[in-house]
Amino acid sequence: MKKKLVILSGAGISAESGIKTFRDAGGLWEGHNVMDVASPEGWNKNMALVLDFYNKRRQQLFEVEPNKAHTITAELETDFDVTIVTQNVDDLHERAGSTKVVHLHGELLKARSVLNDHGVIEWRRDINPGDLHPDGYQLRPHIVWFGEAVPAIEDAIGIVEEADCLIIIGTSMQVYPAAGLIDFAKSTTPIYYIDPNPASIPNLRNPLEVFQLSASAGMEIIKAKLKEIEF
C-alpha cells in the first residue's frame, strides 16, 4: 500500500506563479486592509469593493500557471497516496494534476449564496451586485473570511491524523484553525517545512526538518529525499 503523504500548502506555494502572499506586504493585501476585503464586516460595509477585489483575484487566475512546486506535488502521486490540504483559494494544485485537494478557505472558482453555505456552484466569471444564486439571494465568493467557520477542518483533521509524512509549504502558520492541524499528526510522523521565512513551531513533538527555500527549490530536495527515507 502506498504511504500517505499529506501536503499542507499556503500562499507561498503560489508565489512563484505570481500570486502575492498575504503577509509579505506589511499587512496589506493587494493594497487593501485584509479585514476590509476578507471579513463579513467588510462585506456588510462595502459589498461592491469585496466583489471587485475577488473578481480581480479570479481574473488573475486565468493569467497564471502552476509552478514547479505544484507540479512536483502532483507527480508524487505516482509513488505516494498524496492528499493536499491547502489554505489557497486558487486552483493551481488541480491544474498541476493533483487529484485530492481539500480547500480549507474556499475556492475562487466557486460561488454561493449569502443565505447559507450550501448550494455551492461553479463560477468562473465576475460576481456583481445583483447577481443572484438560484435560491434568490445575492451571490458571494465561496471564500472563508476571517471570523467565519471552516467547514472543511474536520475532514482535514482526519487526513492529518492518518499521515505517514507531512510536508508544509509556504505558510506563515498564523491563521487558525489551519495552523493547528499539525498537532493532529502522530508524534512519530516526520514533518518537512519549506518556507524562505519560516515561522517557529513551538511545542512540536514530531521530527521536524526546515528548508529555508522557495517552494520549488524545497520540493526538488524533498522529492529526492522521499526516495531514500524509510518512514
- Kindly give, in sequence order, each residue whose CB lies less than 8 Å from that of residue 146, ignoring residues fewer than 6 positions away: 34, 35, 38, 39
Cβ at position 34, least distance to ligand APR in Å: 6
Which one of 42, 66, 141, 170 is in contact with ligand APR (CB under 6 A)? 170
- The residue (of 176 and 231) whose beta carbon lies closer to ligand APR is 176
Which one of 16, 90, 94, 107 is in contact with ligand APR (CB under 6 A)? 16
Catalytic residue among 103, 105, 133, 142: 105
Q: Please state, in angstroms and rounded to a whole number, the distance separating the CA atoms of residues 226 and 231.
A: 9
Task: Using DSSP, state whether 40 is helix, strand or coil.
Answer: helix
69 is in an annotated binding site: no
Return the DSSP state at 7.
Answer: E
Which one of 6, 22, 139, 142 is in contact with ligand APR (CB under 6 A)? 22
105 is catalytic: yes
* Residue 10 engages ligand APR in binding (rule: CB under 6 A): yes
Q: Which amino acid, one-letter code, is at 168?
A: I
* Residue 92 engages ligand APR in binding (rule: CB under 6 A): no
Residues 181 to 220 in contact with ligand APR, rule: CB under 6 A? 194-197, 214-215
Task: Using DSSP, state whether 188 is helix, strand or coil.
Answer: coil
Find where cell 491563521 sits: 175
Number of helices (H), then strands (E), in the chain: 8, 11
Which one of 5, 17, 21, 74 is in contact with ligand APR (CB under 6 A)? 21
Binding site for ligand APR (CB under 6 A): 10-12, 15-16, 21-24, 34, 87, 105, 170-172, 174-175, 194-197, 214-215
- Annotated catalytic residues are 105
Which residues define the annotated binding site for substrate? 54, 57
Binding site members for NAD(+): 10-29, 87-90, 170-172, 215
